[in-house]
């Protein structure tokens, strides 16, 4: 049962071939056996309470896709009655009185909200460690991290402690941990999964929630659970059809590699992605190596300006209150201070760059069905690092510069799916981003579906799971 996809499990529950109480029992046993090693699941509810809730569902007619499936929600999402910390000691014992929109939609689909998944403090930095719960370890090498900010979700999927998981992605927080843990992470077109109606909802157009899973079919199913208009926020998107069957014959792919050298890469990452692209060519795709389509430094300048502006606006109180400041990670304080020093002109100029890149990218997709970049610039790195300070001899000038490769999609809200592409010389996973035109979520996921059927990389179980890997 633990090896099934979420779709297989859902079909079995709806057909009454397996009961929610059986699913819950298996899930709790897996957490007991594995979570102490990787630390992906946090704030687990009382097992007796969870079993009692599952037994009630045994006798209820299944309705939503997630009926009776235990679900660990990312610890950046407020969950009614389930501890939500944002990885911050300021909220170490916080029990929300209502659900955020994501949690509410998961419950409405029948999920049993049973725990949370670990994150970096405030979700900042792609390395899931915090002073409340500690670090999440990579299931393929316990001395390495699982990425972030959806690192707990990715590690839980890889270790069969989740059938499907929610994540969020401002910079690369769905794609980087997916690459590090050999699973799928999908950043949908911005606005397809709406925001909560809290704080600013007009300028805050960088971050989005999205799905993660071990199959693309599951990614698509969870996207349908999460997507759909929230009338309390602007910029609604129509939910697309997600019929995914297609082949790659004639598909036009632009390979952006390291953006003409702008994005330093650790050895082996580009080679692994190019091997995957050759396999796509064998499946019928036409791959063309592209020169840099836009100045990388302009994209970075625009990104860091807008990100700092939003962090300062939303988190200013953490820096101004001495007691809160003392318990807040320095990277968050740095973001806030960068934002407080911005002028209106600087923000305007950043938005102009963003606008020009959006226009150019639209023309790019007149020639290509998708463009491809690596999902990360480094392999999973040691758990005791705060972040990689150097890549291939190039010093990183910020705590997040090492993941700059995700910016082209994030800055303008393009759909981007991180797909597994195999393992490097040290046995560490890597992924690559399949990026599509704004609104073409179906197209991107259909490419991923064809890739999954041809490769099934997530079936290669991590060493932390003691039983043998199924043959591929």
* Torsion angle of C-alpha atoms 281, 286, 291, 294, degrees rounded to 10: -110
For residue 451, the model assigns a pLDDT of 98
452-to-218, 244, 393, 422, 435 alpha-carbon distances in Å: 12, 11, 34, 12, 16
Structure tokens at 141: 């090498």
Identify the bridge partners of residue 211 per DSSP, sorted by sequence position: 166
Q: How far is CA 447 from CA 172, 197, 414, in A?
A: 20, 33, 15
Compute mean pLDDT per 10 residues along the chain, 472 residues long, and list them: 98 98 98 98 98 97 96 98 98 98 98 98 97 98 98 98 98 98 98 96 97 98 97 94 92 98 98 98 98 98 98 97 98 98 98 98 98 98 98 97 98 98 98 98 98 97 72 36
What is the distance between the alpha carbons of residues 215 and 4, in angstroms, rounded to a whole number?
A: 10
State pTM to two decimals. 0.97
Residue 462, C-beta contacts closer than 8 angstroms, at least 6 positions apart: 139, 140, 158, 159, 181, 182
Is the peptide bond between 184 and the residue preceding it cis, with omega within 30 degrees of 0?
Answer: no
Helix 344-364 and helix 296-320: axis angle, to 10°? 140
Q: Are 406 and 412 in contact (CB under 8 A)?
A: no
Task: Tell which phi-psi region holds residue 235, choosing left (phi > 0), alpha (psi between -120 and 50) or beta.
Answer: left
Query: CA-CA distance, 160 to 464, in Å (whole number)?
Result: 11
What is residue 63's predicted lDDT score, i.e. its pLDDT?
A: 87
d(CA 186, CA 155): 16
Please report, for the chain, the start and end positions of each structural domain, with discontinuous segments joined by +: 6-243+253-459
pLDDT at 468: 44
Using an 8 Å Cβ cutoff, are 428 and 380 in contact? yes
Residue of 170, 237, 177, 240 lying closest to 208 (CA atoms): 170
The contacts found for 381-390 with CB under 8 angstroms, 24 or more apart, are 381/127, 381/144, 381/145, 382/143, 382/144, 382/145, 383/129, 383/135, 383/137, 383/143, 383/144, 383/145, 385/127, 385/145, 386/125, 386/127, 386/331, 387/125, 387/126, 387/127
Q: According to the model, what pLDDT value does residue 471 have?
A: 38
For tokens 């201070």, name the residue.
337
Q: How far apart are CA 130 and CA 304, in angstroms?
A: 23
What homologous superfamily is domain 6-243+253-459 in, according to CATH?
A: Amidase signature (AS) domain (3.90.1300.10)
Contacts of 331 (CB under 8 A, 6+ apart): 124, 125, 386, 399, 400
pLDDT at 240: 86
């Amino acid at each position: 049962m633990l090896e099934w996809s979420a779709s297989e499990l859902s079909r079995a529950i709806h057909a009454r071939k397996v009961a929610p109480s059986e699913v819950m029992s298996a899930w709790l046993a897996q957490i007991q056996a594995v979570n102490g090693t990787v630390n992906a699941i946090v704030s687990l509810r009382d097992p007796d309470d969870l079993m009692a809730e599952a037994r009630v569902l045994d006798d209820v007619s299944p309705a939503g896709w997630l009926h009776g499936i235990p679900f660990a929600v990312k610890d950046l999402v407020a969950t009614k009655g389930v501890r939500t910390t944002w990885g911050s000691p300021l909220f170490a014992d916080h029990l929300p009185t209502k659900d955020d929109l994501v949690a509410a939609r998961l419950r409405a689909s029948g999920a049993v909200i049973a725990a949370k998944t670990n994150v970096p403090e405030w979700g900042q930095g792609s390395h899931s460690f915090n002073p409340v719960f500690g670090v999440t370890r990579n299931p393929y090498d316990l001395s390495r991290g699982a990425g972030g900010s959806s690192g707990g979700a990715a590690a839980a999927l890889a270790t069969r402690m989740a059938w499907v998981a929610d994540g969020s992605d401002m910079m690369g927080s769905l794609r980087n941990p997916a690459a590090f843990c050999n699973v799928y992470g999908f950043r949908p077109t911005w606005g397809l999964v709406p925001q909560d109606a809290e704080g600013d909802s007009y300028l805050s157009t960088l971050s989005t929630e999205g799905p993660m899973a071990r199959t693309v079919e599951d990614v698509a199913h969870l996207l349908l659970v999460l997507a759909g208009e929230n009338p309390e926020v602007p910029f609604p998107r129509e939910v697309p059809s997600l019929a995914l069957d297609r082949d790659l014959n004639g598909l036009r792919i632009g390979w952006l590699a390291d953006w003409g050298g702008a994005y330093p890469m650790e050895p082996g990452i580009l080679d692994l992605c190019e091997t995957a692209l050759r396999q796509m060519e064998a499946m019928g795709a036409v791959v063309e190596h592209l020169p840099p389509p836009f100045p990388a430094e302009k994209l970075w300048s625009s990104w860091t300006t807008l990100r700092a502006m939003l962090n300062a606006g939303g988190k200013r109180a953490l820096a101004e209150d001495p007691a809160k400041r003392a318990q807040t990670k320095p990277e968050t304080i740095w973001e806030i201070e960068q934002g407080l020093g911005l002028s209106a002109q600087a923000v305007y100029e950043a938005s102009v760059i963003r606008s020009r890149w959006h226009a150019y990218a639209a023309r790019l997709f007149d020639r290509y069905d998708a463009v491809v970049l690596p999902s990360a610039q480094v392999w999973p790195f040691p758990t005791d690092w705060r972040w990689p300070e150097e890549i291939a001899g190039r010093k990183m000038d910020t705590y997040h510069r090492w993941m700059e490769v995700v910016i082209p999609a994030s800055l303008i809200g393009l759909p981007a799916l991180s797909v597994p592409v195999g393992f490097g010389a040290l046995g560490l996973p890597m992924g690559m981003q399949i990026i599509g035109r704004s609104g073409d979520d179906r197209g991107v996921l259909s490419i991923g579906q064809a890739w999954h059927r041809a490769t099934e990389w997530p079936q290669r179980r991590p060493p932390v799971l003691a039983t043998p890997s199924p043959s591929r």
